[in-house]
A = this chain, B = another copy of it.
Amino acid sequence: MSKCEQCIVREFSSLKALTKDELLQLSDCKTSYTIKKGEVIFEEGENVNGIYCVKDGICKLTKLSPNGKDHIVKLVTKGELLGQRSMISDEPVNLSAVALEDMEVCFIPKSEVMSFFDKNNQFSMNVMKTICGDLKEADDNMVNLAQKTVKERLAETLLYLHDTFGKNEDNSLKVQLSRDELASMIGTATESCIRLLSDFNKLGLIELTGKKIVLKEINKLKKMADYDPK
């Protein structure tokens, strides 16, 4: 069992407020998991009695709509926590978490987190700030979905993926989403998403090579998206 004290990822999460003692305590009660690409970490409606700390990899948080389609609400990557909202609300999780790449995550039981809440105000504050950040992001997404066209949303999402998760040596986006996933992130039909990607490609804004996407004209994409990076 690896020690939380030495975990690089800890520095980037709310857990950075924990003291050495608390980290030792944490090491003792956490459980580490390896999750393969495509595997489910938890599913909408489940009772997850704790939180996951993402050590490596990326996952999508999805919500099933009444019409049967999944919508990707958020992507979560290393250094972030999963399941905080429902743990705090004392409810089943309202989203499913599915690995987009192989992942390493640690599970921390609720009792433990709650005891940190009690003892360590800075930690509470960090968690609160994270959730507040999520809320702001959700508000922004809402307005985008309500007011922007699919084309604008696609451009914006490509830029978001670029800015947030970076690119490979060949300049292609690091997070590799299927067309279907991309569509369910921007809230459109898969075919529409494919078509618009094709258009962007023909316009020279992006370059498509199989699943790989390279952003060629970032400024034009920004203009297209009315994108303002926070």
- Of the residues B68, B91, B143, contact of A73 by C-beta under 8 Å: B143
Give Cα A21–Cα B69 distance, bound, in whole angstroms.
51
Q: For the complex, is A144 an interface residue (Cβ under 8 Å from B)?
A: yes
Q: For the complex, is A210 an interface residue (Cβ under 8 Å from B)?
A: no
In this complex, how many residues of chain A approach chain B with their Cβ under 8 Å: the count is 47
Complex interface residues of chain A between 110 and 138 (CB less than 8 A to chain B): 117-118, 121, 124-125, 127-129, 131-136, 138
Given contacts A73-B139, A88-B128, A117-B125, contact A146 B229 (CB under 8 A): no
Q: For the complex, is A42 an interface residue (Cβ under 8 Å from B)?
A: no
Contacts of A129 in B (CB 8 A): 88-90
Complex: chain B residue closest to A68, CB-CB:
B229
Complex interface residues of chain A between 131 and 169 (CB less than 8 A to chain B): 131-136, 138-148
Give Cα A90–Cα B129 distance, bound, in whole angstroms.
9
Contacts of A65 in B (CB 8 A): 143-144, 146-148, 227
Contacts of A97 in B (CB 8 A): none
Contacts of A124 in B (CB 8 A): 117, 121, 124, 128
Q: For the complex, is A71 an interface residue (Cβ under 8 Å from B)?
A: yes
| A136 and B187 within 8 A (CB) | no
Contacts of A86 in B (CB 8 A): 132
| Distance (whole angstroms) from the CB of A182 to the closest CB of chain B | 13
Give Cα A50–Cα B74 distance, bound, in whole angstroms.
29
Binding site for B on A (CB under 8 A): 63, 65-69, 71, 73, 84-86, 88-91, 94-95, 117-118, 121, 124-125, 127-129, 131-136, 138-148, 187, 226-229
